[in-house]
Amino acid sequence: MRSEAGSRPARKAPSETAGLRWAPDTGPIDFGPLEPKDWALDGSSSGHGSAKIVSPIMPTKRDAPHPILYGEYLGMVADRQAVIAEGVEALAETGHTEGAELIMVAYGTPGRIVRYVVKKLREEGYPVGYVRPITLWPFPAEILRNACRDAKAIAVHELNSGQMVEDVMLAVRHLPVSKTGGVSMDESGFGIAPDLTPTIVRERILKTLANIQEQAA
């Protein structure tokens, strides 16, 4: 189809354009009237003594009819933490722990890499298992202790200078605990860290396992 001028093809109408994907309508949506939110910081209560307060130090103002002071607030926070600790089940994933001389502990993205590497090593006959904490607080100490029933040592792989390793040391006091991870990043600081490379994780696990077996010999 040619244009009236005959110099170039005429542009087809949208309905005639095959395979064209149209963007969805992004216009405003009317949700109707919303219920008032007494916690919202919308500026409507400022300037006349009843402005809302959001503070990690005190939940009320000092001149409130029934103020909650800092010391009392800390006690309330501690009570709240105790309620959370009682109501949250400590969770962890375990694998290949039966007969494992070395238990690798890792969470998050490092946990996925460790799980993959341990699975491959176990297929090759290496006595290695893993524990991947799902909840870090409360820490799954009992699950970890049960997973270490055959272990001679534990290694923690974190992408930092060492945080969860202290929880592991407190949970399993009768076994030596070492670190195989650390602060690691690529040149940009945003890409895949070297310590998340399965090859490197494999090398460090095998080195740790070799040290354990050498000491036991």
Q: pLDDT tens, 148-187?
A: 999 999 999 999 999 999 999 999 999 999 999 998 887 7
Q: What is the pLDDT of residue 75?
A: 94
More confident residue, 45 or 124: 124
Nearest to 181 by CA among 158, 199, 214: 158
How far, in Å, CA of 42 to CA of 55, rounded?
16
Return the amino acid letter for 152.
Answer: K
CA 79: distance to chain centroid?
25
For residue range 183-197, what is the model confidence (pLDDT) as tens digits?
A: 888 777 676 788 889
Pick the CATH number of 92-216 from 3.30.70.1400, 2.60.40.1930, 3.40.50.920, 3.60.130.10: 3.40.50.920
User: Would you state the torsion angle of the CA atoms of residues 128, 134, 139, 142, taken in this order, to the nearest 10 degrees?
Assistant: -50
The most distant pair of C-alpha atoms in the chain lies apart, rounded to whole Å, by 92
Pinpoint the residues of the chain covered by CATH 3.40.50.920: 92-216
pLDDT at 166: 96
Taking residues 20-49, what's their average pLDDT? 72
Q: What is the C-alpha to C-alpha distance for residues 45 and 42, in angstroms, rounded to an integer?
A: 8
Range name among 30-34, 98-102, 207-211 with the lowest pLDDT average: 30-34
- Residues 94, 128: contact at Cβ < 8 Å? no
